Amino acid sequence: MKLKNIALAAGLFAATIGLNAAQAADISGAGATFPYPVYAKWADTYKKETGTGLNYQSIGSGGGIKQIKAKTVTFGASDAPLKPEELQKAGLVQFPTVIGGIVPIINVPGLKAGDLTLDGQTLADIFQGKIAKWNDEAIKKLNPSVELPDMAIAVVRRSDGSGTSFVFTTYLSQVSKTWADEIGAASAVEWPVGIGAKGNEGIAANVGQTQGSIGYVEYAYAAQNNMTYAKLVNKDGKTVAPDAANFAAAASNVDWNNAPGYYVTMTNEPGETSWPITATTFILVYAKPDKPADVAEALKFFSWAYDKGDAAAEALHYIPLPDAVVANVKATWAKEILGADGKPVYAGN
């Protein structure tokens, strides 16, 4: 399996948004690896258009939350949304940026992308160590026409605090009572089995290098690196593939208007074409920032991304937010993010 694009992505990161001390970036952020590919692309184009740089550290959602709370970055990024009471306690404002899908990726000899189908319970049993071989009867039952090898399953899971893990384990908790009772949903859980890897990048690299392995990544990582993904059986009992239309189908169920702090989840949504592990990713900034000018620059960047970044997001298999949600987000900025003078940090496009 070719993983050259992971190295290329790292190079893109260094070249476009990882600026050194002599070229200090105007905007600093850290956190989720889920949106890293699109943030990198946006940052490259934005730098060319405006001259303003972005230094985004793709360190995982847990790290992003820690860094924004420590005030070492202008914004934090997390795929695991903070609840309204957590936001209020920390003095933070949260808003979504893009929607994407989390997919199981595998490295099984003879299998191509989409050859294998899994359902939620089987996936949970694999990550709980209850299914340990690829030719287990539960997998064979879902794939009667697929030749499955008598090969041990090597689970690859996140070792860092991860919003991707939060979404993945939220889904597993919804489809498996045993998973919910024994492990639960969180950014970091006590994994029963598996090899730990850091970031979506680490999962992709480990699965690519390990025969018999299975992991989970944001779909852009699978697509960019031509990785083998598994289809899933969704809540309606339909077998679906990961693609933009199916991510959008799941996201269409979300009631944004009744989601304080934009706290939403998109896992295990109904609908014949809904991808069952769909998620949005979030940005965190202070409601009353110590450096309002820095936050204003960050909001200008995200405003530009909302207005001009849809094509780049779609090319990387993300779903842009609905226009109505973008309008609400910008209204939230104007209302809730204030400078020391009490005036809005964000004054419009």
Residue-range domain boundaries for the chain: 4-100+278-336, 102-254+265-277
Q: Which CATH number fits domain 4-100+278-336: 3.20.20.140, 3.30.1490.20, 3.40.190.10, 1.20.1110.10?
A: 3.40.190.10
Fold annotation for 102-254+265-277: D-Maltodextrin-Binding Protein; domain 2 (3.40.190)
- Contacts for 268 with CB less than 8 Å, ≥ 6 apart: 120, 171, 174, 175, 234, 235, 276
Between the alpha carbon of residue 42 and those of residues 37, 253, 328, the distances in Å are: 9, 27, 21
Asked whether the domain spanning 102-254+265-277 has the same topology as the one spanning 4-100+278-336, the reply is yes
Tens of pLDDT, residue by residue over 155-197, are 999 999 899 999 999 999 999 999 999 999 999 999 999 999 9
pTM of the entire structure? 0.89
| Residue with the two structure tokens 């405006």 | 50
**Does the pLDDT value for residue 253 go beyond 70?**
yes
Task: Report whether 235 contacts 268 (CB < 8 A).
Answer: yes
pLDDT of res. 347: 82
Q: Do residues 280 and 96 make contact, with C-beta atoms less than 8 angstroms apart? A: yes
Q: Tell me: pLDDT of 212 over 70.
A: yes
**Chain segment 8-60, per-residue pLDDT in tens:** 344 344 334 443 333 444 899 999 999 999 999 999 999 999 999 999 999 99
Q: State the helix-helix crossing angle for 292-308 and 36-50, rounded to 10 degrees.
A: 100
Q: Is the pLDDT of residue 83 over 70?
A: yes
Give the separation between CA 251 and CA 64, rounded to whole angstroms. Answer: 24
Strand ranges in 81-131 using DSSP code E only, listed in sequence order: 92-107, 117-118
